[in-house]
Amino acid sequence: MSTLNKIARIMVSERRGILAADESIGTMSSRLEGVGVKATEENRRVYRELIVTTPKLAESVSGIILADETFHQKLSNGQTFPAFLAELGILAGIKVDTGAKPLAGAPGENVTEGLDGLRDRVRNYAALGATFAKWRATITIGDGLPSDRAVRANVHALARYAGLCQEGGIVPIVEPEVLMDGSHSLARCKQVTTSVLRSLFDELNLMQVQLDGMVLKPNMVVAGKKCPQQPSVEEVAEATVDALRATVPTFVPGIAFLSGGQSPEKATEHLAAMQQLDPLPWELTYSFGRALVGPALETWRGDNGKREAAQKALSDRAVANAAAR
């Protein structure tokens, strides 16, 4: 078994999942401001420290994705975040993309950037303790969207990113997110997700990415947030698994879903329902951001007297998702 395969299998191992705490400085700042906390570097650090020091987190979390800022910050005890996670038996990951930017010639669509200098950045992060990385591409459904060029540009970047990570000895989380924004139906999301995943695996194969040394992080197949007809939990589970079966090679060790704006409870219900379907060739797990940490942030609101209650809110979500597996 290769080292990459070993790490990927730990990331998706039974009854655990991956916590996405890698919001960019901009996104994390607006989430803090949303709960009345001033968006300073120190407050982002304090909030991330609250997350990673949640008691017993390692029982339901195999890895945590960090942002570059956090990766270089220290906890109150003087340890760096990656060093602290290593002691807990939690793998440290790093978001390496530099965000989704407007794609030339494709109004309303984005391409994720960050390939420049990536080989060196991967080498540095690995030396500082990162064992895996993340790159998120976003695909918008709309009138005539996504365009072929947006899909091709995004899957190309994902595949080149994945190759560079593997060359540098770290496992790539490959995240093509079909966004929930809009009024599209479940069927339309299934069609777009299937076609994006098909293009993605064509490109990963072209770039000779080792499929057993990566983790796929897709969206669940859901209807758009504004769609008047919202599907049942079973319909989401079936549509998602159909899309994955049609496209994801069995060599891929695991699939770790993003939550994408679903409520924490719905995301967990969907994950649990998928495990009830016929045996699947890959591990199905979670790599949630908002659906794991949202209730903790809402509880904390910058009040250190609520620190323990906030950690309990995170712990409850992590335990519920681990149980859903």
Copy the structure tokens of residue 39. 């968006």
Residue with smallest beta-carbon separation from ligand 13P:
289
Of 165, 289, 321, 325, the residue at the interface with ligand 13P (CB under 6 A) is 289
What does the chain come to in residues?
Answer: 325
Minimum CB distance to ligand 13P, residue 200 (Å): 15
Counting contacts by CB under 6 A, is residue 258 touching ligand 13P? yes
Binding mask 115-154 for ligand 13P (x = CB under 6 A): ---------------------x------------------
Instruction: Specify the stretch interacting with ligand 13P by CB under 6 A; choose among 73-81, 143-151, 159-167, 253-261.
Output: 253-261
> Considering the complex, what minimum distance in angstroms separates the CB of residue 191 from ligand 13P?
21
Q: DSSP string spanning 218-265?
A: PPP----TT-SSPPPHHHHHHHHHHHHHHH--TT--EEEE--TT--HH
Q: Is 217 a catalytic residue?
A: yes
* Residue whose CB is less far from ligand 13P, 115 or 308: 115
Cβ at position 24, least distance to ligand 13P in Å: 10
Give start and end residues of each alpha helix (H) in the chain: 3-11, 25-34, 41-52, 68-71, 81-88, 118-127, 148-167, 186-206, 233-247, 264-275, 290-300, 307-324
Question: 49 catalytic, yes or no?
Answer: no
Instruction: Kindly tell me which of 2 and 62 has the beta carbon lying closer to ligand 13P.
Output: 62
- Among residues 175, 177, 269, 283, the one annotated as catalytic is 175
In the region spanning residues 187 to 226, those forming contacts with ligand 13P, defined by CB under 6 A, are: none
Q: Of residues 62, 193, 195, 259, which one binds ligand 13P by CB under 6 A? A: 259
Query: What's the rounded Cα separation, in Å, for the pair 115 and 134?
Result: 12
Nearer to ligand 13P, 136 or 156 (CB): 136
Alpha-carbon dihedral sign for residues 75, 77, 80, 83: negative
Instruction: Decide whether 192 or 279 has the Cβ nearer to ligand 13P.
Output: 192
The Cα 21–Cα 51 span in angstroms is: 8
Q: Which helix (H) or strand (E) holds 184?
A: none
Neighbours of 305 (CB within 10 A): 7
**Distance in Å, CB of 279 to ligand 13P, minimum:** 26
For the CB of residue 95, give the shortest distance to ligand 13P in the complex, in Å. Answer: 8
Distance CA 8, CA 287 (A): 13
Give the residue, chosen from 121, 270, 290, 325, that forms a contact with ligand 13P under the rule CB under 6 A. Answer: 290
Task: Using the Cα atoms of residue 170, residue 318, residue 301 and residue 298 in order, give the sign of their dihedral.
Answer: positive
State yes or no: residue 20 binds ligand 13P (CB under 6 A).
yes
**CB of residue 280 vs ligand 13P: minimum separation in angstroms?**
21
Provide the token pair at 272: 């649990």
| Residue located via tokens 């303790």 | 129
Residue 259: which of 286, 231, 237, 239 has the closest Cα? Answer: 286
Give the binding range for ligand 13P (CB under 6 A) out of 46-54, 146-154, 256-264, 315-323. 256-264
Nearest to 180 by CA among 172, 171, 189, 168: 189
Catalytic residues: 175, 217
Q: By CB under 6 A, name the binding residues for ligand 13P.
A: 20, 136, 175, 258-260, 288-291
